[in-house]
Structures are given as C-alpha cells and as structure tokens.
Structure 1
Amino acid sequence: DETEMLVTWVVKSGSVHDTPTVEYGPSEGSLHLKATAEATHFKEDKTEFRTFRALMTGLTAGGSTVYYRVGSSGTAWSKTFHFRTLSRSSSSSSWLPRLAIYGDLGYTNAQSTPYLVKEVAAGHLDALFHIGDFAYDLHSKDGERGHDFMEMIEPIAAQVPYMTIPGNHEEHANFSHYDARFSMLGDRHQPAQHKEGKPPLNHRLNNHYHSMTVGPVKVIMINTEYYYYTGYGWGQISR
C-alpha cells in the first residue's frame, strides 16, 4: 500500500521506560504524526534482543517526502531519516520504477554497499530487493554479525523499501533470526487486513510469501528454501 510504510528497529539490551514510537511528518521540524510500535522479544541460544515495528499510515502517494525518527522520550531517539513515497500502482502504469535486485550480501567484504548507498542518496533507486543470504550469517557471533549487518544497510534501508526473502544462509533455527529482523507485509488483499478492528501488525507479516505491484511490475517473492529443510516439518511446504 503506497500510503503506508513499515519501519523496524532493534534494541539489543537495557530497559525501555515508555512506549517506543515512530514520529513522522512532512519536514524534519514537523514530526507531528505518531504510530506506536509493536514489540516482540527474540531469544535463541545466546542471542537476545527486542524488535519494534511501527506502521506509518495516511501518507500521500506519488513522491511525497516523509521525515521520521524512531525511539522514545524515556530512552533515546534515532536521528531523523526520510524517504519518498511511491506512485500509486493502479494509476501509474507508465511509470517505470528503478529497482536494485541482488542476493548474497555479507557483512565482511561487502563491496557493493558503498555503491548502493550512493545510488540511494542520489535518489536513483525506488526500492531494493535482497534475494537471500544476509550478513554471512545473521546468527553468527551470537547475533552480533546480524546487528553489524543491519547497521551497515541502515543508510539504504532507512530511505527506500528494503524488500527481502530468505536464502539458505537464513535456515538456522527455522529462519527465526531472519524473521526477527525483517518485516514484509502481506499484500493489501490479505484476509487478515479485513478482520474487524485493526489487526496487529504481526498478523499482516508474511516474510516468506508476499507480492506487490510497483508501477507496471508485479513482483512475487517465494521462499523455496523450505523444500530443502524438511526437518522443520511439511506444513510450511504445504502453504
């Protein structure tokens, strides 16, 4: 949905004394809109952190600039980031999105990253699609490699949609480290969105099978890794 943007951040340790929030608006000095984050606690072996997700809504599609920051007044605020909204797909079949599509981006020797940062900063890309294999690996060094990787891609992922699907390197603990860090929304026709009231964000997340329309392009992302890791059961394959 071009009028929404989901932002995700992680707190490694310590206490959060009030409600984590995203503040956003049309300028850096006018962050008058707020969205409360939903929190999840992740623990696997020696890795432990909390993930916060907040959904910005009511955005104006078609290239409007949105400024935002995340955090809380009782703990700390991030710096202010900004992004531009995408054109409405239903009315812009002549608009050609500029997409970067790649896989296998590690933290060590990540020679593509400076070029991606420059392209995003110059406004040359509308969205990025990272097709599997992150950080090498997200769970390594008790999750510290994952933290380092996410900080590395922050200049990219904070400014354009960073769309993902897991690869074989995300298999550890049934893809749980990947799911704890990334937040792909199911498309707008997903039944969970039409339940009475406002469904929780975690009911809308679909990190392994999702699709979107970007201008004239229909993108379908499917996790095929399930076929190789049947030890986690056959239910995921059936889906």
Structure 2
Amino acid sequence: MAAIPNPNPGNATNANNGNAATAVAATIRTMVVCVADELPSEALSSRQLDRHLGVHGSLQARFWAKGTLHLWQRRSMIDLRKGRPAYCAGGPARLLDLTGMRHAAGMGAGIRHQWWQRAVHGTKPANPWPVYEARHLADPAKYPLDKASADFWNQPRVNAMRMHNALYSGAPLALAELEMYQAGQMAYQHYSASTAIVGDALLTLDGNQLAPASDTMAHRVTFLEQANRYLGTLDDAQRLVAVTL
C-alpha cells in the first residue's frame, strides 16, 4: 500500500523539486508469479528469480500448504516450513490451502475492523493519502509535499488511528488501508481475503503483469478482480510462487 511520508513536516522533502508531475504509481511489495511447467522447482531460489522469472526479489513464505500433504508431495513445494499451518513460498495450486488463507484473512480483517470502528468513533471520514499525493504531484510548486503530508496527518480520524497504534502496537491499524476501512466491514474483509492470495501484483504465464494503476481503492479493487479472475482460469496443477520485491 501507499508509502505515507513521516508525520513530522520537517522530514518531508519535495521529490519533484517543482518539476512536472509524474503518475502516482501503486506500491508493489509482494508479487505472485505463475511458474511455467518447464521450469524445475530447483531453479526457484531467491538467487535465481531474476534469471528465471525476470523478477528482482526474494521468496516469501506467504502461502499455506494443505495439511494433508503426503511425503512425496512435499518435494513439489517451494521453501516449505514446519508448523500448522505450514507456510511456504509456493507450489502447485492444488497443494496450497488457498481457501483457508482467504477465510483466515477475512476473519482477521473483521476483527481489525471492529477495533478500527471503536478507535475512530466520533470522527469524520478522512481523505486517504493518495488524494493528497495526487494533488501534490499535479502542482508541486503550489502544493508542496510537506503541506500535503501535514494535511493528511492533521485529520482527526488519522490521529485516532495513530493513538490506537500507540497503545496497541501488537495490533496496529494500517493507515495505508484507511480507504478500505472506511468502505465498511464486509468490503474490508473481502479486500483482505482477496489480497491474501494475489498480493500486490500478479505475473501471468505469458509474462503479463497485473497490478493496480495506483494505490487508490478503486484501482486496487480493479486489480483484485482481474487477478482473482485469472487465477480462476488456471489448472489446479499450476505452480504459484510469492516474491517479496
């Protein structure tokens, strides 16, 4: 999600130095890659991702392996860890507990949204950071980054979330997900469940990268629709691998 500047205006800098605005790119931290059949599992190591997949990053133990794995099936998994659930960086879709991941992510999101509702009770809806970022990039000279940052951080709802995070650091409310929280509990649960499977971007078998056009909720939802629809067309033998960029 969006990289929000430090709340201290003195630490904010204008990256554009008054030059023409550039597009507000989406924040991509995790990519799910559809791996071609001909690529051996042995080639899927963090040191060879760039060579074989064209991706600069490292393996991420994001997926859950099914609890019914046989010993011989474990050889098909990528970076399989111990535990229940057993995390892994990927493997054939039929051996990944994608349904369990969606369910757990949705349940966790429901609990977080209840905390969020209590934390921001009585505050007005706030503008998410991409609104201020886009305004800054449209005219950096008239609306510098430190002003955009201050306007975002000075919103009562944003500060209510910060107060929650200050007291409950073990269960933080992500400020980058402000727009998703404000869409309602069910919307936030669906967003979290979908994101658990496809991450921030998806690399298809033909090398096409599906990714949101920006960090706004509308663009994130469009990406999730496209990515989940694409995954639904794949054979259950298709290998998926998660990469941290």
TM-score by length of structure 1 reads 0.29
The structure with the larger Rg is 2
Flag the structure with higher strand content.
1
- Between the two structures, name the one with larger relative contact order (CA 8 Å, sep ≥ 6): 2
Flag the structure with higher helix content.
2
